[in-house]
């Protein structure tokens, strides 16, 4: 049985944050068919699910997806947000019990009176627009990426292929998960390279929104560890 071929380089692609909108794209495509688009499982005049219900569910997904872009939900911020929401709901519940006003019913009735009867074509256009943006995001990663090789870390960027090189001697790497939701949606995080020698030894090289960051960090650490062994061998 042949031994696995050793890795000679690792390519790291930082993705634009628009890729985090993939839940809205998927839900829009699904709701297009559930709303009668394409006439596969219904018609525009006879949708599988009530259009108003689809509209509200789409708004909910859209809201929470945009929330990921609005705030950085680190571990502490995530716990604090859950705690604040819990206290808020508890406060409304106590107010509802202690007063004659039916708070929860009033809130429910307000939203129940709103109708969001969006045509299936709306969902089709949203999924199409987001699909184009996803494709553009993928294309940009071909012009902005990092290459880790045995003797240097190279940042390639720009249409003309501009490059910046950093030595990997005594280089260290750190991983950060600045947002819990970004990690859950895309497995993304941040890699920070710190050169150990040269004029950039006090500089941090930050690569944001790296896909499957846990797996990639492990590969990078193993790769840099192999390099360090090779360096020690020839001293």
- pLDDT for 40: 58
Select from 139, 161, 184 the last residue of a domain.
139
Domain identity same for 113 and 176: no
Length of the chain: 235
pTM of the model: 0.74
The Cβ of residue 58 has, within 10 Å, a number of other Cβ atoms equal to 21
> Per residue in 29-45, pLDDT tens?
999 988 877 665 555 56
Contact 161, 144 (CB under 8 A): no
Contact 164, 180 (CB under 8 A): no
DSSP 113-167: T------HHHHHHHHHHHHHHHHHHHHHHTTEEEEE-SSEEEEEETTTTEEEEEE
Cα separation, 220 vs 173, in Å, equals 8
Contact 189, 213 (CB under 8 A): yes
- pLDDT for 76: 66
Domain identity same for 66 and 130: yes
Please list, in sequence order, all residues whose beta carbon lies within 8 angstroms of the beta carbon of residue 177, skipping any fewer than 6 positions away: 74, 75, 183, 189, 190, 213
The Cβ of residue 159 has, within 10 Å, a number of other Cβ atoms equal to 7
Cα separation, 46 vs 110, in Å, equals 26
- pLDDT for 23: 94
Domain identity same for 173 and 192: yes
Domain identity same for 69 and 128: yes
Cα dihedral angle (12, 13, 14, 19), rounded to 10 degrees?
-140
Label residue 20 exposed, middle or buried (CB < 10 Å: 0-12, 13-18, 19+).
Answer: buried
- pLDDT for 147: 94
Select from 139, 170, 195 the last residue of a domain.
139
- pLDDT for 200: 66
Give the total number of structural domains in the chain. Answer: 2
**In this prediction, what percent of the chain has a pLDDT beyond 70?**
77
Range of the domain at 207: 10-15+143-233
From first to last of its 235 residues, the chain has per-residue pLDDT tens of: 445 556 678 999 999 999 999 999 999 999 998 887 766 555 556 666 777 888 889 999 999 898 888 777 766 666 777 777 787 777 766 766 666 667 667 766 777 777 788 888 899 999 999 999 999 999 999 999 999 998 889 999 888 778 998 888 888 899 998 888 888 888 999 999 988 776 666 788 999 999 999 999 999 988 888 555 444 443 4
- pLDDT for 229: 47
- pLDDT for 213: 93
**Beta bridge mates, 165:** 154
Domain identity same for 84 and 189: no
Domain identity same for 94 and 147: no
- How far apart, in Å, are the Cα atoms of 173 and each of 46, 137, 151, 212, 230? 56, 25, 15, 16, 18
* Pure H helices in the chain: 22-34, 51-70, 75-98, 103-112, 120-141, 180-186, 213-233
- pLDDT for 82: 75
């Amino acid at each position: 049985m042949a031994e696995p071929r050793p890795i000679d380089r690792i390519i790291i692609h930082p993705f634009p944050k628009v890729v985090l909108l993939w839940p809205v794209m998927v839900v829009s495509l699904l709701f297009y068919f559930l709303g009668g688009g394409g006439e596969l499982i219904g018609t525009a005049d006879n949708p599988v699910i009530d259009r108003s219900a689809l509209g509200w569910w789409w708004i909910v997904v859209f809201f929470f997806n945009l929330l990921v872009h609005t705030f950085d939900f680190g571990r502490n911020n995530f716990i604090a947000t859950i705690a604040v929401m819990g206290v808020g709901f508890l406060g409304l519940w106590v107010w509802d019990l202690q007063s004659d006003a039916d708070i929860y019913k009033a809130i429910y009735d307000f939203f129940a009176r709103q109708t969001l009867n969006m045509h299936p074509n709306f969902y089709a256009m949203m999924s199409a627009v987001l699909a184009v943006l996803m494709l553009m995001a993928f294309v940009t990663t071909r012009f902005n990426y990092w290459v880790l090789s045995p003797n240097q870390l190279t940042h390639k960027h720009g249409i003309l292929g501009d490059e910046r090189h950093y030595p990997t001697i005594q280089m260290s790497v750190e991983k950060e998960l600045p947002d819990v939701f970004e990690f859950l949606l895309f497995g993304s995080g941040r890699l920070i390279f710190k050169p150990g020698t040269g004029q950039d030894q006090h500089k941090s090289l930050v690569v944001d929104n790296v896909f499957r960051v846990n797996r990639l960090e492990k590969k990078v650490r193993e790769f840099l560890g192999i390099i360090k062994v090779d360096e020690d061998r020839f001293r």
